[in-house]
A and B are shown apart, each in its own frame.
Chain A
Amino acid sequence: MSTFEKVRDIVVEQLGVEADDVAIESTFIDDLGADSLDIVELIMAFEEEFSIEIPDEAAEKIKTVNDVVTYIDQSK
C-alpha cells in the first residue's frame, strides 16, 4: 500500500468519510469536515501507524492529505 492509501484508510476510519471523498489535495477541515480535536486524533493515529513522531510545530502546518503524505515520506 502506498503512503497515500494508508493515510486515506486512517482518515476514513477517524472521520467517518467515504474513501472516494479523500483526495491527495483534500483539506482536513474544509473538505473533510474535521474539527481541531479530530486533527489531534489524526496526528496521533498517523504517529502510531507509521511509527514516527510529528512534533507540534510540524503538526500545525498540516492542512491537507498531501501535507501528511509528504511529511511521512520525508521521515522515512
Chain B
Amino acid sequence: MLLDGKVALVTGASRGIGRAIAITLAKAGAAVVVNYAGNVAAAKEVEQIIVSAGGKVMLVQADVADSESVDAMIQQTMAEFGRIDILINNAGITRDGLLMRMKESDWNAVIQTNLTGVFYCTKAVSKIMMKQRIGRVINMTSVVGLTGNAGQANYAAAKAGVIGFSKSMAKELASRGITVNLVAPGFIQTDMTAVLSDKIKEDMVENIPLARMGTPEDVAQAVLFLASDNASYITGQTINVDGGMVM
C-alpha cells in the first residue's frame, strides 16, 4: 500500500477533516497517531474505525497550543513507533466575530492554536525527521488564509501565517529530505461549518464552480497524495480543495 511502514501523526484528528485524514492514511497502510484535545469519545470512534479496517492506531491527548503538551505527545509517539514520517498539522479552532467586537482573547486563542501550535509541532517533529533524512509535513491552511473573510480576521491571519511558516520550513528543511506543503480546504461539511445558517450555506455554494460543499474525504485525498512518495518533488506548495472557489 501507498504508506506501508510509515508513521503519521495527525493533530486534531477526532473530528471533521482531521478524522478523515487519519482514517485515510491508516487505510493506506500508515500507523496513525490520532491526537485530540478534549473529545475522547470521538477519538475512540476514530480508533475503532481504524482498528476495524485492520490499521494501526494510537490515541494521544494533547493541546497543540501548549508546548509541553506537544513535547509529551511526540515522546509518546516515539516510544510507541520509534519514528515519525508524516506530520499533519490539522488542529484548529474558530472564534469568529467582526473586528470591532473581537476580544483580545478571541484573537490570541486562535493564533495560539492555529499558528503557534503548528510551530510547536513542526519544531518538535523536524528534529526527528532531520535525523531520519526523510519526512513529510502537511499543514492545513484555508482558502480564507488566501482571500480573507469578514468575521474571521483572527482565523484568516493565522491561516495566512501558516502559509508563510510552511514556505520557510520548506526552504529550511529541503536539504534533509523533508517536504512541507499545505492543503487549503474551501467550504467543507464539518462541525465547524454546520453552525452556519442555511442561507449562508446557499450563498457560499453559489460561488463554488463545482456547486457543492466539499467533504472531509475530498480534503483527505489531497493530503494522502502529498504524504506519499508520489509527491516527493513537491514542496512549499498549497493545494486548494475548494471546488474551484478560489483560483
Contact = CB atoms under 8 A, between A and B. Distances in A.
Interface of A: 35, 37, 40-41, 44
B127 A37 contact: no
Contacts of A37: 130, 172, 175-176
Interface of B: 127, 130-131, 172, 175-176
A44 B127 contact: yes
**Interface residues of B: mostly helix, strand, loop or mixed?**
helix
Nearest to A40: B130
B50 to A, nearest CB: 33
Contacts of B130: 37, 40-41, 44
Contacts of B131: 41, 44
A40 B173 CA distance: 12
11 contacts: A35-B175, A37-B130, A37-B172, A37-B175, A37-B176, A40-B130, A41-B130, A41-B131, A44-B127, A44-B130, A44-B131
A40 B130 CA distance: 10
Contacts of B175: 35, 37
Contacts of A44: 127, 130-131
Across the A-B interface, the 3 shortest Cβ-Cβ residue pairs: A41-B130, A44-B127, A37-B175
